[in-house]
Amino acid sequence: MTVYAIIGGTGLTQLEGLTITAALNVDTPYGAPSAPLLRGEYAGREVLFLARHGHPHRIPPHQVNYRANLWALKHAGAEAILAVNAVGGINAAMGTGHLCVPDQIIDYTWGREHTFFAGELDHVTHVDFSYPYDAGLRELLIAALAEEGCAFSDFGVYACTQGPRLESVAEIVRLERDGADIVGMTGMPEAVLARELELPYACLSLVVNPAAGKSSGIITMAEIERALADGMGQVRAVLARVLGA
């Protein structure tokens, strides 16, 4: 049976319902992961859980040690990864509270350690990244969303920006022109590092605010926190249904 790892983002620093059997402090060649890896049982299945931003939530998106996180999960026995991300909605159909299973990503980040293939290498390696997310995992998420009766999209282009600030209106106009449907700060290099480690990876994104210029007001943390509180129950239910399948 596949051992899944769940990477929790903003709003999911703890996995309610997880029966923890071990907290693993994994030493990696890339430094420390964001938090101890939690091994336990969720929805009747063994899982690993990692809080991307630490617990408590303290590590901004551009300072997450993505390489350590992915390496630690792989070496703790993870065989597939379900990543949860809080995002802004660009596509008019993807408003606050909407769930999205993206099928593509555009990387606008810079300065992040984005590959394991660096330094003194025996040979140069190029991984294929035409389709960033695992098709089988996406199908499981999409089926679970439909069964839960959630408002969701089974497609989406995720624009990954540097952060930690939110985007300007002009930047969102550019991202929309580039074809982006949602915008977040943590989708990369996480997805490509999973690919380099040959770990199937898919993303479940919760829209927590309209992107800049997509509503009449400014974006507030209070608005985002309300959306997180309202939406993470659905996220947990979807994850439980996937794991229980």
Report the binding-site residues.
Answer: 10, 52-53, 185-186, 209-211
Cis omega (within 30 of 0) on the bond before 210?
Answer: no
In this structure, what are the phi and psi dihedrals at residue 197, rounded to the nearest 5 degrees?
A: -90, 5
Are 145 and 49 in contact by the 8 Å Cβ rule? The answer is: no
The neighbour count for residue 19, using CB atoms within 10 Å, is 10
Pick out the residues of the known binding site for phosphate: 10, 52-53, 186
Pick out the residues of the known binding site for substrate: 185, 209-211
What element of type H or E holds 205? strand 201-210
Comparing C-alpha atoms, which of 47, 17, 241 is closest to residue 144? 241
The neighbour count for residue 127, using CB atoms within 10 Å, is 13
Residue with tokens 């350590």: 68
